[in-house]
Structure 1
Amino acid sequence: MRFATGTTVKDFDAYGAWLDVAADCGFAMLTTGDSQSLWADPYVSLAFAAQRTTTQRLGITVSNPMTRHPAVAASAASALQHLSGGRFVLGIASGDSALRNIGVRPGRVDETESYVAAVRALTRGEKATWQGADLVQRWKPGPTPVWMAAEGPRTLRAAGRSADGVVLSNSLTREAYERNLAHIAAGAAEAGRDLADLEIWCMANIVPAATEDDGIAVVRSVLAGTANHVFRFTTEGKGLPDTLVPKVEELKRRYDSTHHASPETAAHNAALVDELGLTRWLAAHSTVAGPIGHCVERLAEIEEAGIRNVIVAQFVPDQAAFMRTFADEIVGRLG
């Protein structure tokens, strides 16, 4: 298995120290997100990371088609490719907290797919079209892999048709992973491509703790955020049991996006998953928690299900200590 990890950036001195530990712990890729109202700009953050690191890939997981014109994103991506020596990866989704916090709607599936195609083309020095306008980048391109974050059947098929890779949430069970791969493969076939042409990465909360329940408790607000994102447009085709559909609808109605991805300030969101009886189901699809030995066993099961690339979320109080524990005591014990 390959492991990536990421953080949100609010203090660059702290981020520099985080990058040093992450690089030392052997993570293959270091990521940050794009939510301008909640943390620092990801292109600025990864420009900083490009100067601080030497070998790790650097990824935005993820941006969106609504806050940046594709020509702007492509120019920024090319700059990061030049600055990093070709280590940058750009992830795109329809948009969540970045848009909710400024009153902008998410991108539609067709918009997101067209945006991915436009950014990919521009970073390769090719012409592109966006909303009827012809685009070209007139300075040195920096070919950039563009991934899509996808959860539902339509978006998964779109990713299979047009993206270089796919970022999956709620996919840590065999059933969920195989269902999502089938949709990606179908989209790839529509474009004359093969599933093997795409990199597939799964998001995972990994939380060492005295017990599984203790670890899950740490990321309850993250479970709420993931559910709000994954099911925000529809619950259909995403493996959600019928008995949980009204509970997820209630969570979406009451979710507070101003504290998205902020466990330390999101007590309201954390309480929702317990109140609505969603905690266990959500955790099974997104979280590895508990004693070290149990985490190792769960990751081995995940690998056996076919998952090879995992982006480790760091919604834990001490990220540096977590990374060292993860590298030394968990990865070190995987076969």
Structure 2
Amino acid sequence: MLAIAAGCDSLWMPDHLIAAFPDSIWQSKYVGGARLADKANAFYEPWTVLGYLAARNRVARKRLGVAVTDAGRRNPAVTAQAAASLHLLSRGRAILGIGPGEREGNEPYGVDWSKPVARFVEAVATIRFLWDSDGEPVSRDSEYFPLHDAVFDVPPYKGTRPEIWIGAHGPRMLRATGQYGDAWFPAFPQLPTEYAEKLDLVRSAASDAGRDPSAVLPAAYFWMLVGRSPAEVDELMGAVVPRAMSLAAPAGMWKRHGVEHPLGPTFSGLQDLLPQTIDEETALAYAKLVPPSLLREVFVVGTPDEILEQMAERRDHGVRYAVAMNLSPMHPSLRTGLGASVPFLRVLRGLRRL
């Protein structure tokens, strides 16, 4: 309902089995929302939910996407089938957001976590290959996903397949985005100047692949902490869960703010984080180490006007499509957290005017 009220044109679901913060601190004494949802890791399967939304969402006609699905845990043929099916059921509104995944969604479940980027590249190439096969048996050599007389016969919707939005951050992933992606869709915050530099790399890779660089949409996924007043914003920045979520930032980002990452000076961040292994006492100790300046880099933080000013800067550095996640319900007060939907609505409406 919030997305409809704000005039947003898309709805997104994450593809996670485990949250990006230690579930040991998902307690009502730290976050008010725990009174309504007592399990931090109870994630619904995204393609199932999006299929439900496709059936319920005919009036609003929002686009439906996964931000982003895991190329390691899911066989690409199954992902191709899920996305193509949703595209038909939603009458052409599906978006396949996809990335290499994280250790937390693979290793604990017995999925090989070695060479995630190489697996990702082969997964996306396989999806494109199956979509283009026209229902004929096809074969393809691959170290990870070889095809042997494989058949993919789910038809396109009016000649179209879902757009592929790639959650890329490192050099190899950026090159893959230029080669295969319809949009660049980094799912972790970065400085506006860094975004502009990486966008140039995506566009160069697209050009090298013989594609129109302007055909790759510059998008991004933003974690937001929004308050109705500066005092409320300060309360959010002091909340335990957002501070613990900063463990997902790589060690280099922590170092930029004068602090060594608690998990080591070379820790890669979200991709290798195993938050379910961090107990309450340790999580609280780690949270205390987070400087306010780091929080303001990990999240987009402020009152609605302040957040829109920050998003305008990101627009000026190339972002053309923003997907926003409201983390303000992580406030210690349930009432304040729920009330944050009002200023977040202002942000969503303001984004449409940027």
Instruction: Quickly name the TM-score band, shorter chain normalised.
Output: 0.7 to 0.9
Of 284, 300, 312, which aligns to 1:288? 300
CA distance in 2: counterparts of 1:128 and 1:283, whole angstroms: 49
**2:15–2:46 CA contact under 8 A, matched in 1:** yes
- Show the 5 A alignment for 1:55-94: 55-94=61-100
Of 131, 150, 167, which aligns to 1:149? 167
**1:25–1:324 CA contact under 8 A, matched in 2:** no
Matched, 1:223 2:246: yes
Q: Cα RMSD (Å) of the superposition?
A: 3.3
- Show the 5 A alignment for 1:1-335: 20-36=1-17, 38=41, 39-54=43-58, 55-96=61-102, 97-106=104-113, 108-126=116-134, 127=138, 129=140, 130=142, 131-134=145-148, 135-142=150-157, 143-209=161-227, 210-211=229-230, 212-218=233-239, 219-225=242-248, 227=249, 241=256, 249=264, 255-258=273-276, 269=283, 271-272=285-286, 274-275=288-289, 277=290, 280-281=293-294, 283-284=296-297, 286-317=298-329, 321-328=339-346, 331-332=349-350
In the TM superposition, residue 269 of structure 1 has moved relative to its aligned partner by: 4.6
Greater Cα shift, 90-99 or 130-139: 130-139
Aligned to 1:4: none
Identity of aligned residues (%): 23
Aligned to 2:30: none
Cα deviation, 1:276-329, whole Å, max 9, x if unaligned, reads x46523532x42222233223222222222322111112232787544433336
**2:223–2:299 CA contact under 8 A, matched in 1:** yes
CA distance in 2: counterparts of 1:203 and 1:297, whole angstroms: 17
**1:32–1:59 CA contact under 8 A, matched in 2:** yes
- Per the normalisation by structure 1, the TM-score is 0.77
Instruction: Sort the Cα spacing of 1:121 and 1:48 in 2 relative to 1 into closer, same or farther, 3 A.
Output: same
In the TM superposition, residue 80 of structure 1 has moved relative to its aligned partner by: 0.6
The residue identity in structure 2 corresponding to 1:214 is E
Instruction: Sort the Cα spacing of 1:274 and 1:70 in 2 relative to 1 into closer, same or farther, 3 A.
Output: same
In the TM superposition, residue 150 of structure 1 has moved relative to its aligned partner by: 1.0
Instruction: Sort the Cα spacing of 1:332 and 1:166 in 2 relative to 1 into closer, same or farther, 3 A.
Output: closer
Greater Cα shift, 179-188 or 125-134: 125-134
**2:236–2:328 CA contact under 8 A, matched in 1:** no
CA distance in 2: counterparts of 1:61 and 1:307, whole angstroms: 17
Aligned to 2:31: none
Secondary structure of the residue aligned to 1:101 is helix
In the TM superposition, residue 141 of structure 1 has moved relative to its aligned partner by: 3.9
**2:326–2:344 CA contact under 8 A, matched in 1:** no
**1:221–1:266 CA contact under 8 A, matched in 2:** no
In the TM superposition, residue 47 of structure 1 has moved relative to its aligned partner by: 0.5
CA distance in 1: counterparts of 2:212 and 2:91, whole angstroms: 28
**1:99–1:105 CA contact under 8 A, matched in 2:** yes
- Per the normalisation by structure 2, the TM-score is 0.73
Instruction: Sort the Cα spacing of 1:112 and 1:332 in 2 relative to 1 into closer, same or farther, 3 A.
Output: closer
**2:2–2:345 CA contact under 8 A, matched in 1:** no
User: Higher relative contact order by CA 8 Å / sep ≥ 6: 1 or 2?
Assistant: 2
Secondary structure of the residue aligned to 1:156 is helix
CA distance in 1: counterparts of 2:97 and 2:139, whole angstroms: 18
CA distance in 1: counterparts of 2:139 and 2:8, whole angstroms: 34
In the TM superposition, residue 214 of structure 1 has moved relative to its aligned partner by: 3.2
In the TM superposition, residue 115 of structure 1 has moved relative to its aligned partner by: 0.8
**Structure 1 unaligned blocks of 5 or more:** 1-19
Cα deviation, 1:152-210, whole Å, max 9, x if unaligned, reads 11211111112222211444523211121122123212211232111222121222223
Secondary structure of the residue aligned to 2:328 is coil
**1:47–1:83 CA contact under 8 A, matched in 2:** yes
Greater Cα shift, 68-77 or 169-178: 169-178
**1:34–1:62 CA contact under 8 A, matched in 2:** yes
Larger Rg: 1 or 2? 2
CA distance in 2: counterparts of 1:77 and 1:57, whole angstroms: 12
Greater Cα shift, 319-328 or 94-103: 319-328
Cα deviation, 1:2-24, whole Å, max 9, x if unaligned, reads xxxxxxxxxxxxxxxxxx33223
CA distance in 2: counterparts of 1:83 and 1:61, whole angstroms: 19
**1:43–1:76 CA contact under 8 A, matched in 2:** yes
**2:175–2:202 CA contact under 8 A, matched in 1:** yes
Secondary structure of the residue aligned to 1:249 is coil
The residue identity in structure 2 corresponding to 1:122 is L
Secondary structure of the residue aligned to 2:95 is strand
Instruction: Sort the Cα spacing of 1:289 and 1:128 in 2 relative to 1 into closer, same or farther, 3 A.
Output: farther
